[in-house]
Structure 1
Amino acid sequence: MNKKESIKGWEFISSTPDLYTFELDDKVFYSGRKSGLLNAKIGVSTREFATIVQRFQASIYLGKQIKMSCYLKAERETKCQVWLQINDSYDDIIIFNSMDNSIFQGKTDWNYYSIILDVPKESACILFGMQLFGAGKVWVDNFKFEEVSEIISRTNNADRNLSEQPINLDFN
């Protein structure tokens, strides 16, 4: 994967960076004056992708629950999602949620998306972004982070419905 810096604070990563662009758009936005636009050029296959990512220290959210939210708009046959990841001090992933149940495809107007995660005390870094798979064009605007009440359920399902021990290891 190749990386290139194009917009302050954001990192652009792609399997084929020559086939994607990431830029500011001052004509299409949800609010404010600009949005981020991730655009696939003609000829992109469904196996290729591009993502934008930003990272910051987890210190102010340690032991708390956070909600990351944003607005997305898409054109053409787009498959995209936002994602949120929490890493420890070794840069190992502790928690990751990529909205697998909420990936959207096709043309959409501005829609609100959010992810809620617990930030363990051993967290060091929070990463987040938006990913485009294959062809299409997607705008993102108004990322927001906020601490939420413990009453709200997390959007990651990684630790739910797990058995205590491995089962059916011989496939019988």
Structure 2
Amino acid sequence: MALTTYWTTRPRARAETRKLEAEVDRTRAETTKILAEAEMRRPSVAPQDTTPKGWEVSGSVPEDYEVGLDYEVFFAGRASAFIRSRHENPASYASLVQSIKADDYQGTRLQMTARVKARDVVGWAGIWMRVDDANERTMAFDNMSKPDRRISGTVGWRAYSVTLDVPASGAYISFGAVLQRTGQIWLDEVRLNVVDDSVPVTDTYSNFPRRPVNLNFDDGTH
């Protein structure tokens, strides 16, 4: 009985073995094909960084935005820089920024000017400048975020400026442009110039009151 079972089951076992080997060969062939297709899709060189030379990109989720150079839309010269949202719900903001040492501007009033063009900005945009001390504590700052100064919607090339006093203890100056939420802005002709005291500062901190007011809430509303 055992011998009969052996001779009747051996062909079946061989058939099962051949079936498994065929499955292995098919799986190996499919894997090789997938890897070959992936290799064909892989770029031959790493993606090029489109950030303008000398500048950096910052923001909470900067990959939600695209930053680069535009050789067709510019105010002067050969190109402008741009920031634009990649989709309809980008996170927070993206900023194009450059930082320099403050040594040459310590004790002066410094004005940043730039030309900005905007398209379909939902949220706001602006140019900005900040002065930090050696411990990276902010000493002066303005980013045009106030409703009466911010850039929104679609506007043609316009001149904008921010002006800050650079204390003698100022160590670093950072400046650039910012876009919050959707849309696109172009930036061109950025300038830093020392101005005299007749030019008012736009420092956000300079507008803070020197003393607290209306602490018992008896003075009504605005």
TM-score (norm 1): 0.89
Secondary structure of the 2:206 match is coil
1:74 to partner: Cα distance:
0.8
Unaligned runs of 5+ in 1: none
- 2:129 maps to a residue whose letter is L
> In 2, distance between residues paired with 1:167 and 1:136?
39
- Report which stretch shifted further, 14-23 or 107-116: 14-23
| 1:109 alignment counterpart | 156
1:16 to partner: Cα distance:
2.3
Aligned in 2, Cα 1:11/1:161: closer, same or farther, shift over 3 Å?
closer
| 1:139 alignment counterpart | 186
Secondary structure of the 1:60 match is helix
Q: 1:7 aligns with which of 23, 34, 52?
A: 52
- Report which stretch shifted further, 6-15 or 32-41: 6-15
Deviations 1:56-80 (A, max 9, x none): 0111111111110000001123421
Is 1:62 matched up with 2:106? Answer: yes
Q: 2:66 aligns with which of 21, 46, 56?
A: 21
Question: By percentage of residues, which structure has more strand?
Answer: 1
Does the 8 A contact of 1:14 with 1:51 survive in 2? yes
Q: 1:96 aligns with which of 132, 141, 159?
A: 141
> In 1, distance between residues paired with 2:87 and 2:144?
26
Is 1:84 matched up with 2:138? Answer: no
Deviations 1:92-149 (A, max 9, x none): 1001111133111101100000011111100000001111011001000010011111
Question: By percentage of residues, which structure has more helix?
Answer: 2
Does the 8 A contact of 1:14 with 1:20 survive in 2? no
- 1:80 maps to a residue whose letter is A
Aligned length: 167
Does the 8 A contact of 1:5 with 1:12 survive in 2? no
- 2:150 maps to a residue whose letter is I
1:90 to partner: Cα distance:
0.7
Aligned in 2, Cα 1:134/1:157: closer, same or farther, shift over 3 Å?
closer
Q: 2:86 aligns with which of 18, 41, 48?
A: 41
Does the 8 A contact of 2:50 with 2:68 survive in 1? no
Residue identity over aligned pairs, in percent, reads 29
User: Which of the pair has more CA radius of gyration?
Assistant: 2
Secondary structure of the 2:189 match is strand
Let me know the Cα RMSD of the aligned residues: 1.9
- 2:65 maps to a residue whose letter is Y
Does the 8 A contact of 1:68 with 1:116 survive in 2? yes
Unaligned runs of 5+ in 2: 1-48
> In 2, distance between residues paired with 1:132 and 1:160?
23
